[in-house]
């Protein structure tokens, strides 16, 4: 999830080309609704998002008994996860496609 439409589309295309199914949201509130409605395996979120920022989204996911096992990855140029936050991993912008795919593979293995 990212509010930068170009980055959102490029990230989605990269993940889809690697065989992943992608659901996109332009704000944190929509992302939370989609996570509750669909079977989501991993959430990628920017920190600076409209309506609900990435940390608020991660906290909401962590507090929801149905969603709490979903790893949340913070993708940001400015923020890093705070100690004790529900963020499971982070990726600093700008990032390479290979680093994103490696992180997704690592998190997917932990969930299996």
Q: What is the pLDDT of residues 28-71, one digit of tens each?
A: 999 999 999 998 999 999 988 889 999 999 999 999 999 999 99
| pLDDT at res. 7 | 86
| pLDDT at res. 111 | 66
pTM of the full structure:
0.88
Give, in words, the CATH class of 5-111.
alpha beta
Cβ–Cβ under 8 Å, residues 65 and 96: no
Asked whether the bond before 94 is cis by omega within 30 degrees of 0, the reply is yes
- Dist CA 45 CA 4 (whole Å): 11
What are the residue ranges spanned by the domains of the chain?
5-111
Closest to 105 measured CA to CA, from 24, 62, 97: 97
């Amino acid at each position: 999830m990212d509010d930068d439409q170009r980055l959102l589309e490029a990230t989605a295309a990269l993940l889809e080309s690697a065989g992943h199914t992608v659901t996109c949201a332009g704000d944190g509130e929509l992302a939370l609704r989609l996570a509750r409605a669909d079977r989501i395996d991993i959430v990628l979120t920017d920190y600076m998002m409209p309506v609900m920022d990435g940390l608020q989204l991660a906290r909401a996911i962590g507090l929801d008994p149905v969603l709490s096992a979903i790893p949340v990855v913070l993708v940001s140029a400015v923020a890093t996860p705070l100690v004790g936050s529900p963020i499971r991993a982070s990726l600093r912008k700008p990032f390479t496609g290979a680093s994103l795919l490696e992180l997704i593979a690592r998190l997917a293995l932990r969930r299996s």
